[in-house]
Amino acid sequence: MGANTTMMKVNSIFENMQHDPDDPNPWQALYLDQSTPIRPVVKEMWLKNSSSVSRQFVLPFARFFAKLLIITFQIIKALSPIDWRFSKFLHRLIYWGLKYFVLPEANYLILRHFHVGSELLAFIAGNVPGAEIPMRPLRPRNLEDLKDNLFLQHDLNLYNFVINLNKELKAKNLKVKHLSQPSFSMITDGDFDIEMPKAGFFNFLDLETAIELYTPVYQFFLTDNDFWRATNSLQLDETIGIYAATILNSHQHLVLVNNKHPLVSLITLGASFRLVLHGLSSEMGHWLLVQFKKEQQQKINQSTNINIGRA
């Protein structure tokens, strides 16, 4: 926790950067822009990755070869009489790759995503009165925790949540609807309990490049059904967004969701890019809930102060 608290207080390199009107820095412009909601420390890390040498020079080649591998593995899977799954080995391989080759900030954002996703689902589950939905929150503290099939379980959690929620709605004649005073008790407005990953000599890959390289590996070591299910789970972003927006009566924020139209399944070649959009949308959705939580608490504090003053 201490490492995260310190990190939150570090001044942004983009904020303190000198502005040259004849050569404005595009990353500084994006950092200073406040039109989209996102936690400042996450935005800082995101833009550091986006402006890295790896993303500029390695990502284009990684994306090209990753797509070739996806097509190749799709053919191999279709022709093979055995639809294999090596989930434990896959997650150990991902852990090893992240630990030794990926930037610490990118690894931190990956670890954050499991916490963010768990809290988004918990918010919806906790604000449908009468519904009882089994949950399996994922809270990795470090990269080592990823070995426990967390990537695969994350996808399963999304589908299981939608299925279990809608079974409850139908069985008990309930609806997801606007609540004037929703509960935000499950939303963390401070730092998550995550250990900041360390930087080694070879930790140079940015987040997007890592995801591009990880996608065909994920495909190869899981069954074809696992991979298709995982890529299609990204289309549930709009579904989850609609649930949350309905509870908050804040449908205008659905514009932040980029993986839209869950009934339209997309081919797997664009999975890595859509996964990046999924991560960003999740962070924005969670930050919105944090802001709503703070506003609600502020109103409660003001009301309490007024009542004390009258007394």
pLDDT in tens, 172-228: 999 999 999 999 999 999 999 999 999 999 999 999 999 999 999 999 999 999 999
Q: What is the reported pLDDT for 10? A: 45
pTM value? 0.93
Q: What is the reported pLDDT for 7? A: 44
Higher per-residue confidence, 62 vs 255 = 62
How far, in Å, CA of 229 to CA of 249, rounded? 30
pLDDT tens digits, residue range 113-142? Answer: 999 999 999 999 999 999 999 999 999 999
Q: What is the reported pLDDT for 303? A: 76
Report CA 299 to chain centroid distance, whole Å.
Answer: 29
Cβ within 8 Å of residue 27, ≥6 positions away: 14, 47, 50, 51
Buried b (16+ CB within 10 A) or exposed e, 5-15: eeeeeeebebe
Question: What average pLDDT does the chain have?
Answer: 93
pLDDT tens digits, residue range 58-102? Answer: 999 999 999 999 999 999 999 999 989 999 999 999 999 999 999
Q: What is the reported pLDDT for 203? A: 97
- Nearest Cα residue to 141 out of 45, 1, 242, 275: 1
Higher per-residue confidence, 203 vs 256 = 203
Which residue's entry shows tokens 């990537």? 151
Mean pLDDT within 143-148: 97
